Structure formats: C-alpha cells, structure tokens
Structure 1
C-alpha cells in the first residue's frame, strides 16, 4: 500500500436504528477490546457459502494473523448489535501496486474483508456498512468506492448492483481460480437508517484527518 491510515477520532463511529434490529453501532475495530480470532471466524462463517460454491476467497480460511495484516493495511470497521460484532469491512486508499486498475486510481477507496454473520444477513447490516463506507470516503475527499467479488457469485453481484454499484472491470487475481467482478459507485451516495445526531461527527472528523494519500 502507498497510503497511511487516518488518525483515529474520538467519535469515529455512527449509531443508527435499523428496522427489525434496533440499535446498530458502526465503529472502528479496537484491538484493545476486540479479537482478531473472533473477526477471522466471523469472516469464515460469512464466506462459507462461497466456499460451498468452489469460490475460495482468502476470507474462507485465512489465519488470524492474515486478517490482522489485511485490516491494518487500511481502516477496519465493525458493526455491533446487542454488544456483539456481527459484521466487518476494511477500507483502503489508493493502492498503486494493485493488479486491479480501479484500485490504482486516485480518489478511489477500495473495500475488503467485507462480511456479515449469516444469521444477521438480510437485515440491513451490509447495506449500512456500505452506506458508511460511501459517506466516510466522500468526507475524505474521495470520489469512488470500489470492491471485488467472485464473478460467478451472481447473488453477490446482484446485491452490490442493488446498492448502486456498477460493473467496471473483470480481473483474474493471482491465486484465485475464478474471475472477480470489480464494482464501483460514487462516494457520498447511500443512506443510513435513523442516525443519532450526537455521532454525526464521524464525517467531519474523517475530513479533518485528511485523505490517506
């Protein structure tokens, strides 16, 4: 990576009310209270369906030290319901060395290690994380949010399209036996459920820290 992580801000989180869930907290992963082992197992469970389709992404069986290294390459966030982490994602700035042309573009934030506990899927948590990523990126002066997913996983491609992403490329990453769909959308698009105003400072805070370039 050619970028640096943004300084952590005291209010770098959002609390919103999701229909059918209630209080949803989106915040940074905190190694002082959160576990890399737990996060890794969450990703294993979230990606198990892809594994059953023969699509062996890194998150299917990666070790905790790999999860940690990948998370520390960017900014790792978690979704918390009832005091339990139920989702996660890592946001990275421009990666000039990436084999994916979209990830090499200036103004692009890429999303990785994105997963939601199977029992908590289809309840708006993934959509909330994507909306957070979009607004967080825009607040830092970035213009696009991009991600990749296995091209044969039609259900995931359809999900991202429904969230406003468009297919911009197809890439065969080294070590993967399938093509990956590269999808992107304009930063700043997407919305949360009812957000508590006391925690809206995440955007101003991120903007004040400067873009990770």
Structure 2
C-alpha cells in the first residue's frame, strides 16, 4: 500500500464529555503502553456481528501483525473511557495504489480499522471518532473523508449516511465475496467536534511510524 502520510498537527488528542459515559479521551495509539494484540481482539469483537452475517472483513480475524501493519500505514487513534480502550480507527492520506478509485483521488483521506467495543456501542463514541476524523482530515488539507463498509450491512450504511456520508461507489475488493459501499463526506469540523477540548498539540512534529 502506498499511502501519503501527513505530519502530526493540532488536535491529535482531545477530551470530551459524552452523556452517559463521562470523560472520553481520543488519543494516538502508543505502542509503548498499548497492545497490538488487545487492539486486534477489540476489532474481532467489534466485527463479530458482520462475521455472523457471512461478511468476513479483514478485521474479523486478522492477526495482530496485520493490525499493526495496517495501523502504521496511517495514524492510529484510540478512544479511552475509564482508562480502558473502547474504540479505534486508523486514518490515512491519499492512497495512489488503492483498487478503490475514491481512495486514489487527490484531496481524499480515508478511515480504516474503525471499531467500537460492542458493550460500548450506541453511546456516541463512534460519532465522536468520526467527528475527530473529519477535523483530522481538514487540518491536513484534505477536502474529503472516505471509508468503506460491506454493502449488505444496511444498518452500517444507514449509520454512516446519518453522519453526513454519501454513497459514491460500490467496489468488490480482492478476497471478498461481497460488495463494499464506498462512502465519502466533506472534511471539516462538526458541531460535536466543537464541544471537544484539545488536550495538547505538536504542530509540525512528525508522527512515529
């Protein structure tokens, strides 16, 4: 995968208060204190429902080495509640080698390995991560944020549509026996992000791979 990485900038760690949850921290994954194996098991649990529907995404059963490799292709973030990682996502810049045309477009950032611990779903954590992702993309000069999800997973497609994403393509990725919906939305701050508090900034620093 050939991915254009961007330097770390402001708002790479934020804190917000979620109703019914309390303090939610969104920060960069730190291999010095975080575990790739734990993150992989979280993704397995988050994608188990898709697996039960016969939709075997990579995150359903990938090894920790694959999680690490995919995360290091971009910027991996985690959502932390009560000191425990309950969600994750990886954000990437333009990928000129992707089989997905949308991901190859200049000005398009993409979101991958996006999962929330099942017991913590439907509490606004996913919406907070997506709001953060939109701001991350905009501050790096991207105009669109794109992602893919199994097209047969109507509930997920509807969720992303409710967050401002529009269906722009349908792609059959290699090794998959289902079509994937490619969804995209303009990058930028959302009202939710406006209620989040930046915890620190490292403008101009380069993120560690």
TM-score for the superposition, normalised by structure 2: 0.92
Correspondence for 1:70: 70
Are residues 195 and 100 of structure 1, via their aligned partners in 2, closer, same or farther at CA, if it must alter by over 3 Å?
A: same
Aligned length: 205
In structure 1, what is the equivalent of residue 113 of structure 2? Answer: 113
Name the structure 1 match of 2:196. 195
Instruction: Check 1:95–1:23 CA distance in 2 against 1; reply closer, same or farther (3 A cut).
Output: same
**Aligned-pair distance for 1:10?**
8.8
For residues 135 and 165 of structure 1, what CA distance do their matches in structure 2 show?
A: 15
Matches within 5 A, 1:81-100: 81-100=81-100
Q: Secondary structure at the match of 1:176?
A: coil
Q: Unaligned 5+ residue runs, structure 1?
A: none
| CA gap 1:170/1:4 in 2 versus in 1, 3 angstroms | closer
SS in 2 for 1:192: helix
Q: CA deviation at 1:12?
A: 2.4
TM-score norm. by structure 1 comes to 0.91
Task: Map Cα deviations across residues 102-123 of structure 1 (whole Å, 9 max, x no partner).
Answer: 0000010010000000000000
Q: Specify the alignment match of 2:163 in structure 1.
A: 163
Q: 1:125 to 1:209 in 2, by over 3 A?
A: same
CA displacement at 1:190 relative to structure 2? 2.3
RMSD value over aligned CA atoms? 1.8
The 5 Å alignment of 1:133-212 reads: 133-192=133-192, 194-196=195-197, 199=199, 202=201, 205=203, 208=204
Mind listing any 5+ residue stretches in structure 2 that lack a counterpart? Answer: none
Q: Supply the distance in 2 between the matched residues of 1:163 and 1:85 (Cα, whole angstroms).
A: 23
Task: Provide, for residues 9-49 of structure 1, a one-character-per-residue CA deviation record: whole Å limited to 9, x for no partner.
Answer: 69620001111111000000000000000000000000000
